[in-house]
Amino acid sequence: MMRVVMFSLTVLALTACKPQKPWSPYDASGTPNSADVPKTSNSVDDQFNANIGDVEQAVYVNGVIAAESGGPNVVVSEARDRNKRLLKSDVILKEPYPQSLWADYDIKCTRNFMSAPVILRAKIMVNDKVAGSFSEVLGTQASKTKVTAKVDLLKPFEGNIPETFLAKIDGDLYLMPNGTDENKVNPETATADIHSKAVYSTLIRVTLQKPGTEIPEAPPSAAAEPTDPTTGDAGVTAAEMFKKVRELDESQDHEHGEGQEHDHAHEAAPPAQPAPPTSE
C-alpha cells in the first residue's frame, strides 16, 4: 500500500514540475485554432453571426430639425437616451408660423453585417400622413452608411397645420439569408422571412403656440437624459440645436455613454408643536 502511495506522489510531483505550453491561437501544424480564440462583441465571428435581435439593437434612425429651419419662432428641446442617441425633440412654433419645417434623417448602425445583409425600409410619418421615405441595404459597411433624407414636416398638411402633431418612423427590417450578395439586392422591394417592425428612431413632437399663451416646457422622460445635464437644451433655436446635435454626433458616433442618476434626499419637516394653553 505504501509503495502505491509513493508512486502516485512521484507522478504528481513530476507533472507539476513539467513546464506548461503557453497559449497560442495556432495549433501544432501552425493553422489558426479558432475554437480557442477569445471572442469579443467586436470579433469577426460576432460580425458574421447576427440574429434579428442584433439587427434591432444596432440600427437607429436619427432625426433633427434642419439648420435652415432655425429662427426665433422655432424653439427646440431635446432628450437623449443613455447611449446619447436622440430620443425625442419637442418643437414649439411661434407666430408668425414658418411656411416649412425641414428635418434631416440619417441611418446610424453600430455594427456590420458580414454574411447576411439587412434591408431597412422606412416611411417618415407625420400623424397618419407620409412625409417621405427611404431604404438602404446594410451589409459589410453598415457602420459607415451615409444615407440621408430631408423632408418638410409641414408639407403634408397643405397649410392646415394642426395644433400639435408627431413625426415618427414607420420602418421594416429584413434579415436576408446567409450568403446573399448585398450588391444584388434592391432595398425598395426585397423581403425576407426574418422580419421586424422594431425600428428605433427619433420622435419629433411639434406644437403651435397660440398668441397670448405660453406652452410649458416638456420634461424629459424618465429613461432619457438631457444632452447637457447641467444646463439642459430647452429654449434654444433650431439653428443652435442643429449645431449642438451635429457636434455631438460627430464626436460620439458608435460610442456608448453611461447615464448618471442623482438621488436627492428630502427631510420631512418636524411636526408642529401644539401651542401652550393660555391662562384665563
pLDDT digits (tens, 9 = 90+) for 43-66: 555 667 899 999 999 999 999 999
Extract the residue ranges of the chain whose pLDDT is less than 50.
4-5, 21-26, 30-41, 220-235, 254, 256-272, 279-280
pLDDT tens digits, residue range 130-175? 999 999 999 999 999 989 999 999 999 998 999 999 999 999 999 9
DSSP H or E segment with residue 249: helix 238-252
Which grid cell is 198?
422594431
Residue labelled with grid coordinates 453585417? 113
Q: Are 124 and 118 in contact (CB under 8 A)?
A: no
**Domains of the chain, residue spans:** 46-252
Could you tell me the pTM of the whole model?
0.63
C-alpha–C-alpha distance, residues 253 and 255, integer Å: 5
